[in-house]
Amino acid sequence: MYKSNIHYWLALKLVPRLAIHKKLALVDSYGLAALFSSSKKSTSILTSAHNLTPKHLAAFHQPDWQMIDEIINNSMRCYSEIITFDDLVYPYLLKQIYDPPLVIFVQGNKKLLNRKQLAIVGSRSASMNGRETAYEIAQQLVKAGLVVTSGLALGIDAAAHKGALTSRAGTIAVVATGLDKVYPARHRGLAKEIIDNDGAIISEFLPGTSPKAGHFPKRNRIISGLSEGVLVVEAALQSGSLITARCALEQNRDVFSIPSGISNPQAKGCHWLIKQGAKLVEETADIIDELAFIDNSSLHLKQQQKSQLIVNKEIDEKSINNNLCVDGLLASVGFEITPVDKVVFRSKLPIAEVLTRLTMLELSGLVAAVPGGYLRLK
Amino acid sequence: MYKSNIHYWLALKLVPRLAIHKKLALVDSYGLAALFSSSKKSTSILTSAHNLTPKHLAAFHQPDWQMIDEIINNSMRCYSEIITFDDLVYPYLLKQIYDPPLVIFVQGNKKLLNRKQLAIVGSRSASMNGRETAYEIAQQLVKAGLVVTSGLALGIDAAAHKGALTSRAGTIAVVATGLDKVYPARHRGLAKEIIDNDGAIISEFLPGTSPKAGHFPKRNRIISGLSEGVLVVEAALQSGSLITARCALEQNRDVFSIPSGISNPQAKGCHWLIKQGAKLVEETADIIDELAFIDNSSLHLKQQQKSQLIVNKEIDEKSINNNLCVDGLLASVGFEITPVDKVVFRSKLPIAEVLTRLTMLELSGLVAAVPGGYLRLK
């Protein structure tokens, strides 16, 4: 039976417990289709040179083609296209991150994906003021020719998409579910409006995937990965928006943040980011100037900013330790790889909370997400 | 007629069109009283080596002693003391700025001047919210053992002084008028309250000096010069508070700034400062942590210098000579008995540091502690 490129990329995606960058290294070394050949020669190379386990090999030798056909059919059924990592339409900025999705499901205008984007993210329970700010800045960024990318969540995300829509300009929503399971449900209207106005909704999750706590942080790396920079408008401490900001830093993207009154709890995250070196934004020009500047300037500057942030990180380490150690979750993560279910068991906390807080610890550089679980770093 | 030290410093202050640092260099080279001798020899030295004009020389040769007596009398009449640059009470941090006032007029508790201070400044037309923030932070800083220094202006300044007063702790007001001309007039009550509560009001301007636009920026350099850092709470762009912040930066002091909503015009200056690198402050701890950090690091540095000196001593005495000669402290000790306050004056270093370093020099055998001061041996 003929297998398309899409079949193979999906098969690669479905190989369990193998990090994306390792999968990409394999494709790079042997070619995509060759990985799925079960010749003795290829098997011995994969086993010896890449430490692949028998389970990995089984996934390569016997992909579930029927399931893959089904994914392709389901994807078509919700009017989406599958863009593979080697597709020319695959967003070039996203390609550069450490763990780019091997395939993305796209509804709507896929040409938008390679346009220059700025992500706007923030609190789901934002203040009226915060939502107005997100709306206005999105409106102005779109007029300046940028695409606004966000996460289709309540609060700031929705305000940003709506602000972008006022110019009938395309906006990109990156979701953490299958494209047929738009979440929150009350945003199905907004999702339709985005598509109708030449925008796009994208996901790395298979059709049929329901919302799951662990998927949101993964989604966030795509929001920042697509974008030149991330603007955080109102965010509490320990919120998903800070995860997106952390991803942006790791991906060497700019982080922008809006200040607010010091008594506003939804500003704590933004102020924290500014203390860490995020750029304080009072008006849209602050973002546009910076992006224009980056375009013209050398990589050197970015490097400098990065080391500044690393310095800040080091200085701040003690205070972070103070803040985070006390919660006891850190103690549940070992200096050897600790599976998430073990962390849940040890900490006696609900899994959703464990996942959020692990990501916060990761954000603070205290633990690292590794294949098989988490590793305590400090 | 007998002329006191104060007479000479006031005479030096009154020499027109000669920069403060040049005046101090003259005192350093020739001694204070000698500058006012009109011997042919000193005249020719001053003219040739320092480019002094005939007008300068006239001011040195014929000081208006009557006017100076009047200044001293007026100062006493408004219950103030005159502290000269070489006085042990002269604030050691202020001594280190580029253009320290040669004399300061002080009402109230002069012991406060050498206590660790944080300046709080901001808009005269601050919002209720801004004033509350200044008040609360001042209150907490005072409880943490710091002295709050400000400018007795309406708005933020007044709120800071009042917050400091709640603990009946001393607060310092630096004014831009003569001490008998407190401005704004409606703050005379506040001024009295500051004095009554063990605080101090200080000025470099002569008694009788009325408010004048040009004096406020000059005053601002003293506010920052006295302080470890400057906190700006609400400030418009192009406001006096930003001048104080600028002075603080030039004087190598910390600048702290409170964020606010981006639609608050009184926050523009604060946000601008944060963009320039000022530390964003959400709570008092942000300031105290930073100052504590500085303390530890400078201590660490001093320790390092100290052990460095000991190592050098063991290695080679000649290199000690080289190391210590260049820092100027050794040069401040004469081959005749030199009192410590003279060493402090000559070296322009804080007394604590001078004492430490004199002991190091003594350990190295370069100076000897003798009754009445120190004696240079080599």
Looking at residue A319, what is its pLDDT?
Answer: 38
For the entire predicted model, the pTM comes to: 0.74
The gap from C-alpha A167 to its chain's centroid, in whole angstroms, comes to 26
For the cut 90, the answer to whether the pLDDT of residue A69 exceeds it is yes
Residue A172: strand pairing partners = A149, A200
pLDDT value of position A293: 53
Cβ atoms of A119 and A229 within 8 Å: the answer is: yes
Question: What is the structure's pLDDT at A83?
Answer: 98
Place of tokens 């395309």: A170
pLDDT at A324: 36
With 70 as the cut, is the pLDDT of residue B297 above it? no
pLDDT band at residue A321 under the 50/70/90 scheme: very low
pLDDT at B311 over 70: no
Residue B39 to residue A242: CA distance in whole angstroms: 73
pLDDT of B303 above 70: no
Residues 6+ apart with CB under 8 A from A183: A152, A175, A176, A177, A210, A211
Q: Which residues from A are below 8 Å from B129, CB to CB?
A: 261, 263
- Mean pLDDT for A340-369 is 77
Mean pLDDT over B269-292 rounds to 93
Q: How many residues does chain B have?
A: 378
Band of residue B317 on the pLDDT scale cut at 50, 70, 90: very low
Q: Which of A50-59, A269-278, A288-297, A334-343 has the lowest mean pLDDT?
A: A288-297
The residue ranking higher by pLDDT, B296 or A342, is A342
Chain B interface includes A131 (CB < 8 A)? no
| Predicted confidence band of residue B11 (pLDDT cuts 50, 70, 90) | very high
What local confidence, expressed as pLDDT, does residue A248 receive? 94
Q: Which residues of B touch A319 (CB under 8 A)?
A: 289
Span A45-72, average pLDDT:
88
- Count of beta carbons in the 10 Å neighbourhood of residue A51: 9
Rounded to an integer, what distance in angstroms lies between the CA atom of residue A172 and that of residue B101?
61
Beta-carbon separation of A260 and B258 below 8 A? no
**% of chain B surpassing 70 pLDDT:** 89
Facing residue for A282 by CB, picked from B129, B258, B271: B271
A302 confidence band (pLDDT: 50, 70, 90): very low
Q: Does B261 touch chain A (CB under 8 A)?
A: yes
Please report how the helices B284-315 and B351-363 are oriented relative to each other, as an axis angle in degrees rounded to 10: 20
> Which residue in the set B129, B271, B293 is minimally distant from A261, CB to CB?
B129
B-chain CB neighbours of A271 within 8 Å are 259, 280, 282
Residue B241: C-alpha distances to residues B30, B124, B219, B220, B237 (Å): 38, 10, 11, 8, 9
**pLDDT over threshold 80, residue B240:** yes
Which parts of A251-355 are beta strand (E)?
254-257, 279-280
- Predicted confidence (pLDDT) per residue in B143-192, tens digit: 999 999 999 999 999 999 999 999 888 899 999 999 999 888 899 999 99
What is the mean pLDDT of the segment spanning B257-277? 93
Instruction: With CB atoms and an 8 Å threshold, state whether B262 touches A258.
Output: yes
Q: What is the pLDDT of residues A119-162, one digit of tens each?
A: 999 999 998 889 999 999 999 999 999 999 999 999 999 999 99
Mean pLDDT of B337-359: 79
Supply the pLDDT for residue B146: 95
pLDDT of residue A371: 63
pLDDT of residue B315: 34
Query: Distance (Å, rounded) from C-alpha B244 to C-alpha B239?
Result: 9
